């Protein structure tokens, strides 16, 4: 939690979180092009000028939005991987649930996260926030794969994250959106992938 915005306390802090949460919704629905201080004021039901007061610049608005999302994803990640270390079967289930939740329960946050990922390719200050959040996810995945006996944890982490991200992207914005994968399909797919990466289980 860095920067003036999120260092505010009490009511100011709640206000910043409302702004960030609303910005996620605006980005998901209208793209980054639709994200203006005024659009956030209106969507949040705040008086004109509120968003500008807490996030002077557009860059700052993007930052507090991404910081908010990163904190939420961190909470979700911790909740999903609370009881370490999972068995291979549990890991497949957790991955499937994580993808399923990203596609269904958190579709707006997911869309906004992809928008900000692309924007981060053009904005080093966003890149840093995105990478910090990504590193936590990556570290958790790598520790899990290592615990499960992966012989190449770094490369396998990349494969695993690619599969998850690709499944999520394809489900919210890809040509496969007509029929997003069921939880069962995701479970089978995650198990297949883990079996590909990890040594054979003892019979």
What is the contact surface with its own copies in residues (CB under 8 A)? 29-33, 111, 114-115, 117-122, 127, 130-131, 133-135, 137-138, 155, 158-159, 161-167, 169-170, 172-178, 181, 185, 188-189, 192-193, 195-197
The CB-of-127 to its own copies minimum distance in angstroms stands at: 8
- Tally Cβ neighbours within 10 Å of residue 157: 22
What single-letter DSSP state applies at residue 46? P
Task: Give the side-chain half-sphere CA count within 13 A for 131.
Answer: 8
Tell me whether residue 125 or residue 165 sits nearer to its own copies (CB atom).
165
Query: DSSP letter string over 131-162?
Result: HHHHHHHHHHHHHHHHHTT-SSHHHHHHHHHH
Residues 6+ apart with CB under 8 A from 37: 51, 52, 55, 58, 61
Distance of closest approach, residue 85 Cβ to its own copies, in angstroms: 22
Cβ 175 to its own copies shortest distance, Å: 2
CB of 180 to its own copies, least distance (A): 10
- The dihedrals phi and psi of 21, each to the nearest 5 degrees, come to -65, -40
Closer residue to its own copies (CB): 98 or 130: 130
- Tell me whether residue 72 or residue 115 sits nearer to its own copies (CB atom): 115
Comparing CB distances to its own copies, the nearer of 31 and 85 is 31
């Amino acid at each position: 939690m860095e920067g003036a915005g999120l260092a505010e306390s009490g009511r100011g802090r709640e206000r910043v979180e409302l702004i960030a949460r609303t910005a996620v919704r605006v980005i998901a629905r209208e793209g980054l092009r639709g994200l203006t201080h005024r659009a956030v004021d209106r969507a949040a039901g705040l008086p004109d000028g509120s968003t500008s007061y807490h996030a002077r610049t557009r860059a700052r608005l993007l930052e507090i939005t991404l910081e908010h999302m990163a904190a939420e994803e961190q909470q979700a990640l911790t909740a999903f991987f609370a009881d370490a270390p999972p068995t291979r079967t549990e890991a497949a289930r957790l991955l499937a649930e994580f993808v399923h939740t990203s596609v269904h329960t958190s579709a707006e946050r997911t869309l906004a996260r992809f928008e900000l990922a692309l924007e981060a390719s053009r904005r080093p200050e966003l890149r840093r926030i995105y990478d910090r959040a990504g590193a936590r996810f990556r570290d958790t995945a790598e520790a899990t794969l290592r615990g499960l006996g992966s012989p190449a944890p770094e490369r396998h982490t990349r494969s695993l994250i690619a599969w998850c991200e690709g499944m999520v992207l394809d489900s919210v914005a890809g040509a496969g959106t007509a029929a997003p994968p069921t939880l069962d399909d995701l479970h089978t797919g995650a198990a297949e992938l883990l079996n590909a990466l990890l040594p054979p289980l003892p019979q």
